[in-house]
Amino acid sequence: MNDNAQVIARIESLPYWGEKVSVAPLEGGITNHNFIVTRTSDESSRYVVRLGNDIPVHHIVRSNEVIISRAACAAGLSPKVCYHEPGVLVMDHVDSRTLTPADVTTQPMLERLLPVIVRCHRVLPEHVRGAPIAFWVFHVIRDYIATLYEGNSVHQPVLASMSQACEQLERLATPFEIVFCHNDLLSANFLDDGEKIWLIDWEYAGYNTPLFDLGGIASNNNLSESQERWLLEYYFDKEVTDNLWLRYQAMKTASLLRETLWSMVSEIHSTIDFDYSVYSRDNLDSFSASWRVLQEMQP
């Protein structure tokens, strides 16, 4: 039996179904594998199954993902968690389309997305149980750099300068407000069912500064400066001061540095079929450009 057949057989055998089901791969996901499952007795009953184990090098703990996914459902942000066991997460399927960066850059869509982000930051944590879950990007960056040294990465020549950038970014971004962030606001993590925007994939979620999420959605979707200023003004309900703009730019640059290092670590640790080397190069270019802008802003 080949690997794909084994995966499908495992999904079909989950005790949650209690009947025969059909299983089809679902595109997307570069730290897990996703499938759509349909009950044969009722084709309108569809589910998404995510397969993925803990990934220590990326600080992914699947038990935390389950806790936060349930909290996100309770907060009205994410589909219902129907079943889970180690390495398996089953959720209701939402009949929707996945957003693209081009969608996110339209003003009407931004105006629909911002309340979702605010609800994530301010309402979701009311439903999180258990030990606190944090995602401190500067710790993540330092840990990734150490992992790349330990793994004899081909990117070692640039790591010292990245470490220095991390220290400077952390200083520039202070003071910090802490909220509960998604921490991975790619366009593909937003679903539009025509009436509601859903936010999915909570494997990196945890307490962080809101400027990381705001900078992440801007950098991941190539927002214009005017759109970035709009996000800040409406999120904080105040004029964008020079200090806020500097802190925001520092966190946006940190989000790009983290994404670059994430890809570099994935080059040597991931078993998923994805061209991480190209992704690393593209993100390094974006980080370098943002870093140059930030340097020009300082007196």
Dihedral class, residue 206 (left if φ above 0, else alpha if ψ from -120 to 50, else beta): left
Counted domains in the chain: 2
What are the tens digits of pLDDT across the range 192-247?
A: 999 999 999 999 999 999 999 999 999 999 999 999 999 999 999 999 999 999 99
Q: What is the dihedral of CA 240, 243, 249, 251, to 10 degrees?
A: -110
Which regions in the chain score pLDDT beneath 50? 1-2
Task: Report pTM.
Answer: 0.93
Q: Which domain holds residue 150?
A: 97-297
| Percent share of the chain, pLDDT over 70 | 97
What is the rounded CA–CA span in Å between residue 97 and residue 243? 38
Which of residues 61, 76, 92 is at a domain's end? 92
Read off the pLDDT of residues 16-38 as tens digits, 9 standing for 90 and up. 998 999 999 887 666 678 999 99
Q: Of 64, 92, 120, at which residue does a domain stop?
A: 92
Place of tokens 């593909």: 188
Distance in angstroms (rounded) separating the CA atoms of residues 81 and 88 = 11
Same domain, 182 and 71: no
Same domain, 20 and 111: no
Q: Which residues contact residue 225 at a Cβ distance below 8 angstroms, ignoring those fewer than 6 apart? A: none
Same domain, 56 and 108: no
Q: Are residues 36 and 148 in the same domain?
A: no
At 292, give phi and psi (nearest 5°): -65, -40
